[in-house]
Amino acid sequence: MSVIHTWACFLLWISFATQDKTPDVTVTCVVSEECVLPCSFEPASAETIKWFRQDEVVYKMERDDDDDEEDDWGDDHFEHERLAGRASIFPHLISRGNATLILRRCSLKDRGTYRCHVHTSKGEHNAKIIVKVEAPIRALSLELTRLSGYEEMKCTARNVFPAPHVTWATEPPTFEELRPVTRFQPDKQGLYTVDSRLRRLKDQPDLIYICRVTTSYGGPAWTASLREREIRGSQGRDLTIPCFAPPYLNNPFLHWTFSNGEDPSHILNYNINSGDSISPPWDNHVELVGMVLFGDGSLRLMDPKHTDHTGSYTCVFSVPYNTHTERTDVTIDSPVADRSTSGKASHWWVVGLVIAMVVLTVVGVLAYRKLKGGNSKTRTDPEEVTELHTVKDPAADSNLNESSPFTAGGTNGQTGTQSGAQLT
């Protein structure tokens, strides 16, 4: 019997020793929001409640006397200034065994290990709560910037804690290695601004750039994607502005806006429940021609005007934690520009025609002169020959028929001498 009695006492001691032993509780709080630190105990009387942080009393509450009425609780006692005005428990719940601490406007300084200690007429109760504080991603933006001297995609998330992880991808995938530069800048509160930049790839203008941000606390991952393009149209001629969502977006919400250097103008919204709604300034100029449920949100621009509709058109597909943006720079050519362009074309056509005529005229003149010069030379040669024959024949006849001393002496001295000898 002694052995059985000993075992019974041992088991009873274990049960009393562990009845107030509760497992540690981990609570994740959000910056600037309300956080609940749970603490439950067995209801009794004469309760005294203390909350510790890192073994330092930060909050205390107890009854003014031994009365069990709920209105007999004294004021809150904040043993630490950081919780003053931000922490409280509900007195009317203490009698039900609830000493939960409500912590308002949480900050990163509230992180740590808390302990709830309750002393009652029946004994003591302790509960340990591990408090984590995070600042989740609220928004993720992706834009094309040229401030660095070249085009690059800029992915930004603000007021985030802890520092998240950023990855990049393209659609369709590219074989070129992506080399983003990511910076984390903390503010005075310890919250991070994430700035990740990726240089735009050359000779691949139709790529979709995808930025994905994840947190170490296991919250939802955020994704933002962007495609940029340029198109031209003519005034008065309908123009379709394309917009296509990536395949991983299901049943997205669609939003179209327009900007020409001023504040963006709302064009239309579309969701699966209500369809599309077009703003009055655009209801006579646009219509949705794509099937949004299948990722096609293309917009038709009807009877566009150069001054009114030249600018940047932006369509955004969005679902929770994911956005896809397509920005299209549209240029509507004006009729004046068309006429000036055609006038320039006709001007150059006339100039070319004049040059061609001048060249043909010069070639014709040169050919004419060459032909005329050849004919003149042919006609001149017989006359020169005739004149030579006319001069030559009388001289020949005088030498043959007349024997004049003047002529003979003049022509040859020896002949004159011979004649004189004969006379002698």
pLDDT tens-digit readout, 116-157: 999 988 888 999 999 999 999 999 999 999 887 889 999 999
Cα separation of the two ends of the chain: 208
Distance in angstroms (rounded) separating the CA atoms of residues 170 and 179: 12
In which domain, by residue range, is 171 found? 135-220
Instruction: Please indicate, yes or no, whether residues 129 and 139 belong to a single structural domain of this protein.
Output: no
Predicted confidence (pLDDT) at residue 81 exceeds the cutoff of 80: no
pLDDT for position 255: 95
Q: How many CB atoms lie within 10 A of CB 167?
A: 16
- Let me know whether 108 and 28 are in one domain: yes
Could you tell me if residue 100 is inside a domain?
Answer: yes
Instruction: Please state the rounded mean pLDDT for residues 206-213.
Output: 94
Comparing 159-173, 238-252, 310-324, 381-395, which segment has the lowest mean pLDDT? 381-395
Lowest mean pLDDT among 80-84, 281-285, 383-387: 383-387
At 277, which CATH number?
Answer: 2.60.40.10
User: How confident is the prediction for the chain on average, in pLDDT?
Assistant: 79
Written as one letter, the residue type at 328 is: T
Q: Which of 137, 50, 63 is nearest to 99 (CA)?
A: 50
Confidence at residue 411, expressed as pLDDT on a 0 to 100 scale? 40
C-alpha to C-alpha distance for 117 and 131, rounded to whole angstroms: 16
Q: How confident is the model at residue 368 (pLDDT cuts 50, 70, 90)?
A: confident
Q: Are residues 127 and 183 in the same domain?
A: no
Q: HEC states along 302-355?
A: CCCCHHHHCEEEEEEEEECCEEEEEEEEEEEECHHHHHHHHHHHHHHHHHHHHH
Residues 110 and 36 placed together within one structural domain of the fold: yes
What torsion, rounded to 10 degrees, do the Cα atoms 79, 81, 85, 91 define?
-10
Same domain, 201 and 231: no
> Any residues with CB less than 8 A from the CB of 28 and at least 6 apart, and which?
132, 133, 134, 217
**Digit-coded pLDDT (tens) for 216-274:** 877 889 999 999 999 999 999 999 999 999 888 888 999 999 998 878 899 999 988 88
**Which has the higher per-residue pLDDT, 105 or 66?**
105
Asked if 124 and 31 sit in the same domain, the reply is yes
Q: How far apart are the C-alpha atoms of 159 and 193, rounded to whole Å? A: 6
Q: Is residue 78 part of a domain?
A: yes
Domain's final residue, options 288, 304, 333? 333
Residue with tokens 């790529």: 207
Tell whether 292 and 256 lie within a shared domain. Answer: yes
pLDDT exceeding 70 applies to what percent of the chain?
74
In a domain, 39, yes or no: yes
Residues 6+ apart with CB under 8 A from 63: 46, 47, 48, 72, 73, 74
Indicate if 69 and 103 belong to the same structural domain: yes
* 327 within a domain of the structure (yes/no): yes
424 or 259, greater pLDDT: 259
Q: Are residues 183 and 203 in the same domain?
A: yes
Residue 92 lies in a domain: yes
Say which range, 111-125, 187-201, 316-330, 351-365, has the weakest mean pLDDT: 351-365
Domain boundary among 168, 191, 220: 220
Taking 50 as the threshold, does the pLDDT of residue 412 lie above it? no
109 and 155 part of one domain: no
Rg (CA), the chain: 53
Mean pLDDT of 414-418: 39
Within-domain flag for 200: yes
* Torsion from C-alpha of 35, 41, 45, 50, nearest 10 degrees: -50
Q: Which pLDDT belongs to residue 420?
A: 39
Q: Are residues 102 and 38 in the same domain?
A: yes
Q: Look at residue 204 and tell me if it is in a domain.
A: yes
pLDDT at 319 over 70: yes
pLDDT in tens, 292-315: 888 999 999 999 999 999 999 999
- pLDDT, one tens digit per residue, over 30-73 is 999 999 999 999 888 888 899 999 888 888 887 655 555 544 55
Q: Which of 146, 164, 144 is nearest to 154 (CA)?
A: 144
Looking at the structure of the chain, the number of domains it has is: 3
Query: What is the per-residue pLDDT for 406?
Result: 38
The reply to whether 52 falls in a domain is yes
Confidence of residue 79 (pLDDT cuts 50, 70, 90): low
Res. 354 pLDDT band, cuts 50 70 90: confident
What is the mean pLDDT of the segment spanning 266-283?
Answer: 88
Q: Which of 134, 158, 175 is the last residue of a domain?
A: 134
Residue 274: per-residue pLDDT:
81
78 pLDDT above the threshold of 70:
no
Are 116 and 92 part of one and the same domain?
yes
Contact 195, 187 (CB under 8 A): no
